[in-house]
Amino acid sequence: MRSRPRVISSPRAARVLAAFTALALVAVPLYGCGAGNTERQGSNTGFDNIKKSAGSYLNASGKELARGKTEGASVYSVNVSLDTAGNQINGNEKVLYTNRTPGVLSDVVFRVYAQDAGTGAARRPTIVTETRVNGQAATASLASSVLDVNVKDGIKPGGQAEVSFAFSEPVPPAGQDDTEGLFAYGEGTFDLGYFLPTVVTCTNGTWDRRPLADWGDANNFDCSYYSVSLTAPSGYVVAATGVEQALKGTTHVFVAGPVRDFEVQASNQYKSAERQVGSTTVTSYYYGKDSKAGALALDTGCQALALYSQHFGAYPYTRFNICEAPIEPDGAEYTGQIQMASYTYDDSYDTDDLKGTVAHEVSHQWWALGVGSDAIGNPWLDESLASYSESLYWRWVEGATSAKEALDEIADNYTSARDDDVPDAPVEQAVSSFVSEDQYTALVYGKGVFFFDELFKLLGSSAFDKALSDYYAKNVFLNATSETLLSALRASSNGSSRVDELYQRWIKQVNGDEDMAAP
């Protein structure tokens, strides 16, 4: 995600979460007679076929990078219909989940972002029904954005469970109560960010049940395989993560994998333009009136995709989409697809800001989506690096002076917040631990970025590239922590203690006023 530059943003009203939005209607089916053996029955042929066809999303480099990294990845089979008159998604989802933890699991837990995505009196809750595990009725609860499905007899290590349910998600209007708009409708467009209930990570037997903060990204998922059949009314152009395998009437079948999430944009305003970059088709979807900005976004996206591939390692997929959208932040990232705020496509909007946002969101294909990291608990790891990658885009395209100008704007996220008495703090914190969105922006999109600039100065351009490309090659399709990144940086600095000193000084300690005076 990239926030609006702080200097031009209006103060954002605190989101008021109406109490009832925490409640959800969950049908709890009764167990039938003879329940008790929930061992998974039958073959995995359907899921195996999805994995095979989903693999067509990978290009040759992606196939190489994915080797040995996706054993036991979840497989999703989804049918959904988009009701544009009722502003609602109705569907059913079936997931083959494999227990890759060392202990028995008694639940499978999903993030249901739709339940958190809108507020206000008109908000209707998400409804989950017909929950089944291995074909038998199962109990489930949906609280805040966490759906907990009980597996009566547990899933042994290495064992599998097929979890299925039906869901109905009202799509809120964009801009309602100053929400982010990642999952919202407006301008004839449906932003379906995180619309699929998605299995959360399970670390040492503990599911990620953390509530989401009022800002920041929700992405903390393992890579999975998807087949998604989506029916939209005629006249709607549908852009999605993955490859469109079939189109029957107005039913689009997309397959994608291994991917960290699955996103859809559907609009009756979209025109599109596309271009080939190596083995990747890049498509820009834009409103008819915004063809100039749509073309600029395509140029920039192609350029950024090629440059990051050259410096950090190959982009792994055959498609990449850039989609104009009625979102609140400048941009937001998903696997193989980004949302670009429609206000950034206005003729009056600064074209360098538009290009910077595209570059930032494209770099998330390496940092957040390629190499996974915990965007909820440790956002600096992807966001500070994506913001630094934005400055690298300018360095590679226009030279050191443009990179310095981009970094000056990034520094302003910190200094302007300090001018308003937003307190300095450690950069490495959970999104919910920052005292305000302004502090989160100042530190994660401001001060933390300069840790990477100090490293760039320490290592020099080629060792810096080598550290990041090693980090990417080893961890793409997997999940990284701060330590994973630090070990790659140490290896490229011949084990210099400076890497850890800089990490302590810029990320863990509170020296911002001194260090940001002359970064």
**DSSP notation for 492-505:** TTTT-THHHHHHII
Q: Which is nearer to Zn ion, 361 or 454 (CB)?
A: 361
The interface region with Zn ion, picked from 128-136, 144-152, 315-323, 378-386 by CB under 5 A, is 378-386
Q: Which is nearer to Zn ion, 1 or 422 (CB)?
A: 1
The interface region with Zn ion, picked from 115-123, 303-311, 383-391, 485-493 by CB under 5 A, is 383-391
Residue 479 to residues 113, 220, 370, 497, Cα–Cα distance (Å): 21, 9, 9, 25
Alpha helices in 364-399 (DSSP H): 380-398
Min dist. Cβ of residue 454 to Zn ion (A): 20
- DSSP-assigned beta bridge partners for residue 183: 192
Count interface residues toward Zn ion (CB under 5 A). 4
Min dist. Cβ of residue 322 to Zn ion (A): 15
Q: Which is nearer to Zn ion, 383 or 515 (CB)?
A: 383
Min dist. Cβ of residue 104 to Zn ion (A): 37
The interface region with Zn ion, picked from 184-192, 237-245, 381-389, 501-509 by CB under 5 A, is 381-389
Min dist. Cβ of residue 473 to Zn ion (A): 22
Min dist. Cβ of residue 64 to Zn ion (A): 27
Q: What is the rounded distance in angstroms from the CA atom of residue 42 to the CA atom of residue 57?
A: 28
Q: What is the rounded distance in angstroms from the CA atom of residue 251 to the CA atom of residue 246?
A: 8
Min dist. Cβ of residue 69 to Zn ion (A): 24
Q: How do 280-287 and 319-325 pair as beta strands?
A: parallel
Q: Which is nearer to Zn ion, 341 or 386 (CB)?
A: 386
Chain residues 452-511 in contact with Zn ion, contact rule CB under 5 A: none
Q: Which is nearer to Zn ion, 167 or 221 (CB)?
A: 221
Min dist. Cβ of residue 383 to Zn ion (A): 5
Min dist. Cβ of residue 389 to Zn ion (A): 10
Question: Using an 8 Å Cβ cutoff, are 314 and 59 in contact?
Answer: yes
Chain residues 238-277 in contact with Zn ion, contact rule CB under 5 A: none
Of 247, 281, 75, 57, nearest to 161 (Cα)? 75
Min dist. Cβ of residue 331 to Zn ion (A): 7
Q: Which is nearer to Zn ion, 144 or 387 (CB)?
A: 387
Min dist. Cβ of residue 486 to Zn ion (A): 21
Tokens 């850039």 locate to 322
Q: List the x/- string, 392-421, binding to Zn ion by CB under 5 A.
A: ------------------------------
What the block records as the tokens of 180 is 């982010």
Q: What is the rounded distance in angstroms from the CA atom of residue 250 to the CA atom of residue 228?
A: 13
Sorted by sequence, the CB contacts under 8 Å of residue 248 that are 6+ apart come out as none
Q: Which is nearer to Zn ion, 385 or 459 (CB)?
A: 385
Q: What is the rounded distance in angstroms from the CA atom of residue 128 to the CA atom of residue 107?
A: 16
Q: Which is nearer to Zn ion, 116 or 217 (CB)?
A: 217
The interface region with Zn ion, picked from 63-71, 77-85, 379-387, 489-497 by CB under 5 A, is 379-387
Q: Which is nearer to Zn ion, 125 or 331 (CB)?
A: 331
The interface region with Zn ion, picked from 8-16, 28-36, 382-390, 509-517 by CB under 5 A, is 382-390
Min dist. Cβ of residue 1 to Zn ion (A): 4
What the block records as the tokens of 419 is 């001018």
The interface region with Zn ion, picked from 106-114, 179-187, 385-393, 470-478 by CB under 5 A, is 385-393
Q: Which is nearer to Zn ion, 140 or 410 (CB)?
A: 410
What are the φ and ψ backbone dihedral angles of 248, each rounded to 5 degrees?
-120, 110
Q: Counting contacts by CB under 5 A, is residue 1 touching Zn ion?
A: yes
Q: How do 367-368 and 371-372 pair as beta strands?
A: parallel
Q: What is the rounded distance in angstroms from the CA atom of residue 332 to the CA atom of residue 185?
A: 15
What the block records as the tokens of 220 is 């903390």
Question: Using an 8 Å Cβ cutoff, are 227 and 259 in contact?
Answer: no
Min dist. Cβ of residue 356 to Zn ion (A): 11
Q: What is the rounded distance in angstroms from the CA atom of residue 340 to the CA atom of residue 253?
A: 24
Alpha helices in 324-447 (DSSP H): 351-363, 380-398, 400-419, 437-442
Min dist. Cβ of residue 333 to Zn ion (A): 6
What are the φ and ψ backbone dihedral angles of 134, each rounded to 5 degrees?
50, 40
Q: Which is nearer to Zn ion, 1 or 314 (CB)?
A: 1
Q: What is the rounded distance in angstroms from the CA atom of residue 334 to the CA atom of residue 339?
A: 8
Chain residues 116-155 in contact with Zn ion, contact rule CB under 5 A: none
The interface region with Zn ion, picked from 1-9, 88-96, 143-151, 154-162 by CB under 5 A, is 1-9
What are the φ and ψ backbone dihedral angles of 144, each rounded to 5 degrees?
50, -125
Q: Which is nearer to Zn ion, 216 or 316 (CB)?
A: 216
The interface region with Zn ion, picked from 148-156, 225-233, 307-315, 377-385 by CB under 5 A, is 377-385
The interface region with Zn ion, picked from 187-195, 315-323, 375-383, 405-413 by CB under 5 A, is 375-383
Q: What is the rounded distance in angstroms from the CA atom of residue 440 to the CA atom of residue 460?
A: 29
User: Quick one: which H or E segment has residue 234?
Assistant: none
Q: What is the rounded distance in angstroms from the CA atom of residue 224 to the CA atom of residue 262?
A: 9
User: Quick one: which H or E segment has residue 136?
Assistant: strand 136-137
Tokens 């600064």 locate to 350
What are the residues binding Zn ion (CB under 5 A)? 1-2, 383, 386
